[in-house]
Structure 1
């Protein structure tokens, strides 16, 4: 098992700290320098779930220093109001994380990579276009959060109506009303069945987050309604044809669901300017299978390990 260090560091330029877990490779020697990989958690998740205890831990076993962190406003990281999910701020977190990594004497600042999972896959793609200190980027069942939200509303008119509601709620809160927190998922698989939900991704998320399989105290899957406006107008892949040049690995399962990772994976590999890019389709598995199930995770690791060994 990898040695883990719990750290907190200042979100530079802001006023709170980011909480993270650093995983060290076997026989770690602090006098040497190592390639490092940042692993970012899915939307509604936390560093103790798939990004940390699965992928960061396994990548560390392969010789990398890895870091899994809680997004600002979430988990053990600081920031108010809690449960804010703002893509522009999530992207900014990636910059602060690399600011921290380059101060560590055992990290080779010229060999830092990034893995984003689910919605953080879209954030990772967007980040590396303008944050060149990340030398290679991979996504595991990555999704374009803004596109997903817009599609959920069903039409442009639906999106505009939602944005009107968000504005009204923000005005109410500015005048003293309580925060309005949206639950991201049904409370159980039984409730999902009662609601008639059949989408493989929503059912997979409910099983992962709402049962002992993946539930953690900080993986709350809650979103503050009044701070969602930016996300509805955000596109993770904007300017990928021009600015996304780092080596790129995109890993998806071949069972598509409503969160769009299968489709988004094909899209970004097609659009990316990167000369070195690969789409790895893990056959027979869906979005949430890739979070923690042994066989699909092993397939993903069989791609991630040589990708980062070659490109960092």
Structure 2
């Protein structure tokens, strides 16, 4: 667990931020930032929104921006670090677990719904990138979540099992599983799990020219001053992929209905097919909202593009 309180954005004078923590049902301590409107009257009850991070991100980046913006608009909000990552506990570090990451959302509902100034029947969630899939999966079984918004959603179980744009063949999948099986023996013998490639440990000035367009987009956020944070290295244990290949996130998305889902995606996002397909799979009420002239990562931190007023109206009308 790493301590680093620096954020990638400026704290608004319209909110106050409190560091909080709570345990999930696995006994892992989840670290979070609680954002409150500056003029909050704690004798009243307010609607609440829980915000999950982009996959590999931390609460001091995009999730914190969303939490702050929605707190400015009158909500009690919570941005949290997923288990095994950021300031949350869990060993070994940098594990990625679909089951536990989904559980973290429900644990956040446990916490925020027991604050005396929160209306527990008005709790919504926002999932950005990979946490969009986790937020939807949490809502499939946790009916305390009254509305879900996803932003630049990724279905990580689909990526791991089928490859980018479902391009992985059965032969390639079997080869990957064989490699992961061998990796388990390596990790066991070394007593330390091996990680996927990481971003630089210090921010850089430019994106390497040899990267493909998608990698360049992520590198340009996480590895430069724009979004760099020491707790966000962009890597997970290699064997984490096994869980995702065995854990389809969207199997019961229809069961969220009649609670509403808002899918937000960039017009030019490389990831838009995840939101489009999930929208088709979901039952009513649902909405697909396209942000003009924006890509995937733009919706992490481009406050001039992110439709916060749309998000406000969605939760105000549906909780």
Q: Would you say same fold, with TM above 0.5? A: yes
Residue 3 (structure 2) aligns with? none
Q: How many residues were matched structurally?
A: 301
Write the distance in 2 (CA, Å) between the matches of 1:256 and 1:35. Answer: 31
Map residues 32-181 of structure 1 onto 2, 5 A cutoff.
32-52=44-64, 54-149=65-160, 150-152=162-164, 154-181=168-195
Q: Residues 69 and 116 (structure 1 numbering): CA distance in 2 closer, same or farther, change over 3 Å? A: same
Write the distance in 1 (CA, Å) between the matches of 2:282 and 2:200. Answer: 35
CA contact (8 A) 2:199 2:233 kept: no
Three-state SS of the structure 2 residue aligned to 1:284 is coil
Q: Which structure is higher in helix share?
A: 1
Residue deviations 1:98-121 (CA, integer Å, cap 9, x gap) = 111122111111000000000000
CA contact (8 A) 1:128 1:244 kept: no
Residue 288 (structure 2) aligns with? 279
1:305 aligns to 2:312 (yes or no): yes
Residue deviations 1:55-74 (CA, integer Å, cap 9, x gap) = 10000000000000000000
Q: Residues 191 and 296 (structure 1 numbering): CA distance in 2 closer, same or farther, change over 3 Å? A: closer
Three-state SS of the structure 1 residue aligned to 2:254 is helix
Three-state SS of the structure 1 residue aligned to 2:145 is coil
Give the deviation of 1:155 after TM superposition: 1.6
Residue deviations 1:213-248 (CA, integer Å, cap 9, x gap) = 011121111110122201123322212234443111
Three-state SS of the structure 2 residue aligned to 1:230 is helix
Q: Residues 242 and 20 (structure 1 numbering): CA distance in 2 closer, same or farther, change over 3 Å? A: closer
Write the distance in 2 (CA, Å) between the matches of 1:138 and 1:106. Answer: 23
Write the distance in 2 (CA, Å) between the matches of 1:141 and 1:244. Answer: 21
1:230 aligns to 2:272 (yes or no): no
Residue 31 (structure 1) aligns with? 43
CA contact (8 A) 1:186 1:206 kept: no
The alignment yields a C-alpha RMSD, in angstroms, of: 1.8
Residue ranges of structure 2 left out of the alignment (5+ in a row): 1-11
Q: Residues 241 and 8 (structure 1 numbering): CA distance in 2 closer, same or farther, change over 3 Å? A: closer
Residue deviations 1:42-83 (CA, integer Å, cap 9, x gap) = 11100000001x110000000000000000000000001111
Residue 245 (structure 1) aligns with? 258
Write the distance in 1 (CA, Å) between the matches of 2:50 and 2:109. Answer: 8
Residue ranges of structure 1 left out of the alignment (5+ in a row): none
Alignment TM-score, normalising by the size of structure 1: 0.91
Write the distance in 1 (CA, Å) between the matches of 2:137 and 2:179. Answer: 27
Give the deviation of 1:96 after TM superposition: 1.1
Residue deviations 1:147-173 (CA, integer Å, cap 9, x gap) = 122214732221221122112211232
